Amino acid sequence: MVMNQKVMRQTLLVLYFLLLSYNGVQGETKRYSELEDLELEKQLKLLNKPADKTIETTYGDLYDCVNFYKQPAFDHPLLRNHRFHPEMKPTLHRLKQSSGTSTTRGLSTIWLNGEGCPVGTVPIKRISKEDLIRQRHIPPPEDITFDVQLAVANNSEPKRKFKSSQGYKVAIARTQNDPNNKFAGATIATSLWNPHVEGQQHSASRLKIQKGSDIVQVGWRVDPVLYGDTKTRLFIHFQAGKIHCFNILCPGFVLVNTKIPIDMVYDTISQIGEASWEETMAIDRDLVNGNWWLLLEEDYKQIGFWPQRIFTELKSFATNVEWGGVAYSPSGVPGPPMGSGLFPIGNTGHEAYCRKITILNDKGKTIDEDKTTAYADNPNLYRVVDIPHWQAAKHQHFVLYGGPGETKQV
């Protein structure tokens, strides 16, 4: 009888947690056990650091201006004895070459106070209990394998088998698969769009740098599970071995910029038939200490960095770089649109694109990368067009990508 009662309690407990399963991202308040509630509060305390000041964006997001030394990055066990400081500057060739000009929309317009956080602090988005509950349903990270099948004649790249994770679909251009590659960074100028997504779908454009199981990436993303809305937002992601996370939802990325948050809303989005809005993004390896820096806009504003010491494979140079689009939907759910929602045919006023497809060599010098491979998982849903020489000008390698997914066409 006692055993039966124990089994019954366990069964009821399992059923209880099944009832708590998340079936959407826009909605319902869930009731959690006292133990779960305490765990959520513990996570919130770790993520929401004491603020010197709290400011609001024009979109209603709250950002805490956290002292540089108290930001979540330094909860990482490998960063506790760091010597980083808020005035840190990377040693990068491209910063010496930069003209210092930028055509990007003034990002200070996202702040109601017009200026961002005070010097010595960094903007960190306030996380709510609802955010944590919703973000438990972020899918495993995109994982695409490129297995060499057989070598072909005339020294061209081997044919390869492409296999994407369940639920993910990509339309990308990629550097040639060579374990001897030594990349110290890469650049992308990506047009900004707002593809329609629902529920647990997401759609994004991104620059991805990888060696083995270590990955760093940056791009824009429409993701209700991650953000709780369907706005087009900046995102970053890193994977170090088996540890991975977006933005600063786990320790690792060190913020230095006081004005540009890494999960900000882009307030101007491209419209079909009009001139495209775009953002320039770069990830560069510091020539001196190997930290991987995130740079934004045409004048390469320094946002922050992933310290070399948190990685294993990316302690040295990267071997693979990708540019393009990715879309996700759970099993049984139609795939969302990607980019502008249109298949690419060569019209940048209608289609999503990535340009400034450049890499940095092991000396940190910018190289126009024209030996790329284009790939799309399902050309019936999404396509990619890789054009290494769009015009007779510098950095005119274009990657056009996108598609309607499985949305119904009118």
With residue 173 as reference, give the H or E element that holds it: strand 168-175
Check residue 390 and give its pLDDT: 75
Element (H, E) at 399: strand 398-402
Cβ atoms within 10 Å, residue 410: 3
Residue 254 has a pLDDT of 98
User: Under a CB-based contact definition with an 8 Å cutoff, are residues 187 and 93 in contact?
Assistant: no
pLDDT, tens only, 104-121? 444 557 899 888 999 999
- What is the predicted pLDDT for the residue at 174? 96
CA 177 from centroid of its chain's CA atoms: 22
pLDDT digits (tens, 9 = 90+) for 3-34: 344 434 443 333 333 334 334 434 444 556 78
Q: Give residues with Cβ within 8 angstroms of 102, minimum separation 6.
A: 297, 298, 299, 301
**How high is the pLDDT of residue 25?**
39
- Name the DSSP class of 18: H
Position 93 scores a pLDDT of 82
Q: How far apart are CA 370 and CA 366, in angstroms?
A: 13
Give per-10-residue mean pLDDT for the chain (410 aa): 43 37 42 80 92 95 97 95 94 69 52 92 96 92 54 40 73 95 97 97 98 96 97 97 91 96 95 94 96 96 97 97 97 96 89 95 91 94 91 77 81
pTM: 0.86
What integer pLDDT is reported at residue 372 of this predicted model?
Answer: 95
Q: Write down the CATH number for the domain with range 166-402.
A: 2.60.120
Q: Which helix (H) or strand (E) holds 235?
A: strand 233-240
Nearest to 381 by CA among 324, 334, 349, 345: 334
Q: What is the pLDDT of residue 393?
A: 62
Distance (Å, whole) CA 285 – CA 296: 15
Q: Which two tokens stand for residue 187?
A: 């650049």
> What pLDDT is recorded for position 109?
74
What is the rounded distance in angstroms from the CA atom of residue 315 to the CA atom of residue 111?
Answer: 36
Q: Do 346 and 390 form a contact (C-beta atoms < 8 A)?
A: no
